[in-house]
Amino acid sequence: MLYGVVVAWIRRVRTASGATAVQIAESVGGRRRIVAHVGSAHTEAELGVLVERARGLLEAPGQGELELGVEPVAARVELLAGVDPAPAVLFDVAVEPARGRSTVTGPRVVGTASRVLYDTLVSVFTSLGFDVLQDEVFRDLVIARLVEPTSILDTGRVLTDLGATPASEKTMRRTLLRAQRDGYRDQLAALCFAHARAANGPKAAAFPQAMVVALAECGTHAIVGASIGGCLGDERSLAAPLLDACEPGMLLMADRAFYGFGLWRRREPVTISV
């Protein structure tokens, strides 16, 4: 009878953000699959810790061993060397022998987190006055976006690497809808303006506020056209003139913020796909 051979190894993959992901992979019957994601490293020190942790997971006691009824014993290291019994001293009174020194198990890395970075970004978020929103999930989404721009499906992993407890995916999506509905952008713009004015002290300095809507090429990210207006303006009104920069045969992609029947009627003179 033939049995399938299972081979497990440590896999390192470069992510889109430039970090190195450490994973445990296995091959069963010629097919490869990812068993566990250990974490993502941004420095060589973090990479070494994650690789060591992955090795510990592969070398877990009892993994890949026959059932022989023998319990694995963790290695122990003595803190201090043993001490010989002290000789008899005054009045020939014997001194009791020193007790044996206690031993402890060797150190083992059980987890890593960039908690200092997370706490620093939280303090910056608070110092700007953004905490008046009283929305911790939105704050964590902002921090995760600054650390590693990724999809909302992978945001939980980024927050876990930072040592924070992420909300569920449904809660994150509801938070983004609430931010758009309650006008978080206008509130944050006003808070930035107030912070800049307060930082200048008695001097009234100019604080330009502008909104830029750009038309970019997907492959090279080259800017084909741009429209600039006030930060409290409407993105759709700024996007309307950019439709004139589209040429026949182009495929125009825009997110759901650019809605409106009147906006897309402007594309009729030009043959483009939206």
- The model's pLDDT over 40-99, given as tens digits with 9 standing for 90+, comes to 888 888 888 888 888 887 775 555 554 555 565 554 544 444 445 555 544 555 555 555
Tokens read off for 225: 């056209």
- Residue closest to 161 by CA, chosen among 122, 111, 121, 120: 111
242 pLDDT higher than 70: yes
Mean pLDDT is lowest, of 163-172, 250-259, 261-270, for 261-270
**pLDDT given at position 96:** 57
**pLDDT given at position 2:** 42
| 3 residue type, one letter | Y
Please check whether residue 21 is in contact with residue 13, taking contact to mean a CB–CB distance below 8 angstroms.
yes
Contacts of 148 (CB under 8 A, 6+ apart): 15, 17, 19, 40, 158
One DSSP character per residue, 197-216 reads HHHTTTS------EEEEEEE
Phi, psi of 66 (to 5 degrees): -75, 155
Identify the bridge partners of residue 21 per DSSP, sorted by sequence position.
Answer: 13, 40
**pLDDT given at position 16:** 78
pLDDT band at residue 195 under the 50/70/90 scheme: confident
175 pLDDT higher than 90: yes
Contacts of 92 (CB under 8 A, 6+ apart): none
pLDDT band at residue 1 under the 50/70/90 scheme: very low
**pLDDT given at position 85:** 52
Mean pLDDT is lowest, of 153-157, 176-180, 266-270, for 266-270
Please check whether residue 105 is in contact with residue 75, taking contact to mean a CB–CB distance below 8 angstroms.
yes
**pLDDT given at position 166:** 92
Give the other-Cβ count within 10 Å of 125's Cβ: 18
- Percent of the chain at pLDDT > 90 equals 18
Measured between alpha carbons, how far is residue 200 from residues 38, 195, 206 in Å? 46, 9, 10
104 pLDDT higher than 70: no
- The model's pLDDT over 68-82, given as tens digits with 9 standing for 90+, comes to 555 655 545 444 444
Give the other-Cβ count within 10 Å of 236's Cβ: 16
Please check whether residue 178 is in contact with residue 132, taking contact to mean a CB–CB distance below 8 angstroms.
no
Across the range 163-192, mean pLDDT stands at 91
- The model's pLDDT over 117-174, given as tens digits with 9 standing for 90+, comes to 899 999 999 988 899 999 999 999 999 998 888 888 899 999 998 989 999 999 999 9
Helix (H, G, I), strand (E, B) or coil at 142: helix
Give the other-Cβ count within 10 Å of 259's Cβ: 10
Tokens read off for 65: 């061993």
